[in-house]
A = this chain, B = another copy of it.
Amino acid sequence: MSDSDSSLSEPVLKKAVLKEAALAPWRSSLARALHRNRSRPYSRYFQLSTVTAAGHPANRTVVFRDFLPNTNTLTVVTDQRSAKVADIAAHPWAEACWYFTHTREQFRLAGPIAVVGVADSDADLKRARQTAWEALSDNARQQFYWPHPAQPRESEADFSPRDVDEAPPGEFCLVLLIPHAVDHLELRGDPQNRTLYSYQADNTWQVKVVNP
């Protein structure tokens, strides 16, 4: 994981995530965790940390939507007006921390991150954004029509349900996290088990079993 990775231009980065990739070796562990914790809906939530333009860490809970088809890229959705979009523009690198409460294991997934918005013209990215919009529940879609997040709440503000459009509103963004380093910690086990996965320049993964 070199620093130069985080300076990939936006179009290059976004195009790169659509490239088909072999299933990374951490994918089976993550799939197993998702399966074994599936009775708890919040098992699909993780905490996404970014760095603000001022250089401070920011951290919030997001909902895992899916992997981009045939890639190891995680997707979440966000509002163009949310602070994380500005963070990512300033520092296009993130670390997700995903803790599974039932199996007591944690995945940390770090790597470049990109936002796909209404202005993206690439056909594949447009399709990915449209697909993500269609996969959302009606309730989740409503939120993109709400007043500006984090602005003062006005008593007359309109949060009432409305018809959702087939095309996503301009506020709707797809976020792509491309893990370059994954740290899997299993608290069960005596002692605990910890495995580090690190993406290499030749498109392979290095796997190391380390002390917890």
Check A61–B211 contact: CB distance below 8 A: no
Asked whether any CB of chain B lies closer than 8 Å to the CB of A57, the reply is yes
Assembled-state Cα–Cα distance A209/B157 (Å): 13
Across the interface, A146 reaches (CB within 8 A) one of B40, B208, B212, namely B212
Check B99–A47 contact: CB distance below 8 A: yes
Check B59–A96 contact: CB distance below 8 A: yes
Check A42–B209 contact: CB distance below 8 A: no
Asked whether any CB of chain B lies closer than 8 Å to the CB of A176, the reply is no
Query: Contact size class for A?
Result: 35 or more
Given contacts A148-B211, A149-B210, A157-B211, 15 further A-B contacts (CB under 8 A): A40-B101, A49-B97, A51-B55, A56-B95, A57-B58, A57-B94, A57-B95, A59-B96, A149-B212, A150-B194, A150-B211, A151-B211, A153-B194, A153-B209, A159-B190
11 contacts between A and B (CB under 8 A): A3-B54, A42-B99, A42-B101, A47-B49, A47-B99, A51-B51, A57-B58, A61-B97, A146-B191, A152-B210, A153-B194
